[in-house]
Structure 1
Amino acid sequence: MVIKVFLASSSGSTAIKKKQQDVVAFLEALKVDYTELDIACNEQNRMWMRENVPEEKKPSNGIPLPPQIFNEESYCGDYDTFFDAKEENSVYSFLGLPPPPGSKEAQQEEEEEQAEEEAE
């Protein structure tokens, strides 16, 4: 499974640049394998990203802005949903990846499973 992060290498927007840097830096800190796909220099990447972001996730103008995150062909989300997952310690489930042993997310899953077992 390859995480695909669609970015714009030559964005004039400081906000977009910061969001892209935040996503990439966090994935690198977690040691998640990912591929950066530039939509500014590659028309195929741009078209693929635009076609594969679900309709309900597109902004009112219909053109999704980077960064957009996919796991292979599956849409994970944009910066806002990534940020929410980061805040909730659920980035691995957001990305559709199993959390590594010992991570906060893995510990949360174990605690939830134990609570369910005790409830039964």
Structure 2
Amino acid sequence: MVIKVFLASSSGSTAIKKKQQDVVGFLEALKVEYSQMDIACNEDNRMWMRENVPEEKKPSNGIPLPPQIFNEDGYCGDYETFFDAKEDNQVYAFLGLPPPPGSKDEAEDEEAKEEE
């Protein structure tokens, strides 16, 4: 499974740049393998991202802004949902990945299974 992070390498918005850096930096800190998909230099990436963000997740103008996160072709979310998952220690679940052995997420997964 490959996590795809759709980014704009040449964004004029400092807010977008900070959000992109936050996502990439956090994935690197967790040692999660991911691919950066540049939408500024690659029209195919831009079109793929726009077509695959679910309608209900698109802003009112219909054009989703980076960063957008996918697991293969499955939509995970945008920066806000990533941030919420990070705050709730649910990043692996957000990404659709199993938590690594010994992680806090794995312990929470085990607790949830035991409660069922």
Per-residue CA distance 1:81-106 (angstroms, 9 max, x = gap): 00000011110010010001111111
Per-residue CA distance 1:18-72 (angstroms, 9 max, x = gap): 0000000000000000000000000000000000000000000000000000000
The corresponding residue for 2:43 is 43
Structure 2 distance, partners of 1:72, 1:113, is 26
The corresponding residue for 1:57 is 57
Aligned partner of 1:45: which letter?
N
Identity of aligned residues (%): 82
Structure 2 distance, partners of 1:44, 1:84, is 29
The corresponding residue for 1:30 is 30
Structure 1 distance, partners of 2:114, 2:58, is 38
Structure 2 distance, partners of 1:21, 1:95, is 17
Structure 1 distance, partners of 2:115, 2:49, is 40
The corresponding residue for 1:90 is 90
Aligned partner of 1:97: which letter?
L
Q: What are the ranges of 5 or more consecutive residues in structure 1 without an aligned counterpart?
A: none
Q: TM-score, normalized by length of structure 1? A: 0.95
Aligned partner of 1:76: which letter?
C
Asked if 1:109 corresponds to 2:109, the answer is yes
Aligned partner of 1:56: which letter?
E
RMSD: 0.6
Larger Rg: 1
Aligned partner of 1:88: which letter?
D
Aligned-pair CA distance for 1:115: 2.8
Aligned-pair CA distance for 1:109: 1.0
Aligned partner of 1:74: which letter?
G
Q: What are the ranges of 5 or more consecutive residues in structure 2 without an aligned counterpart?
A: none
SS state at 2:35 partner: strand
Q: TM-score, normalized by length of structure 2? A: 0.98
The total of aligned residue pairs comes to 116
Runs of 4+ in structure 1 deviating by more than 4 angstroms, as ranges, are none
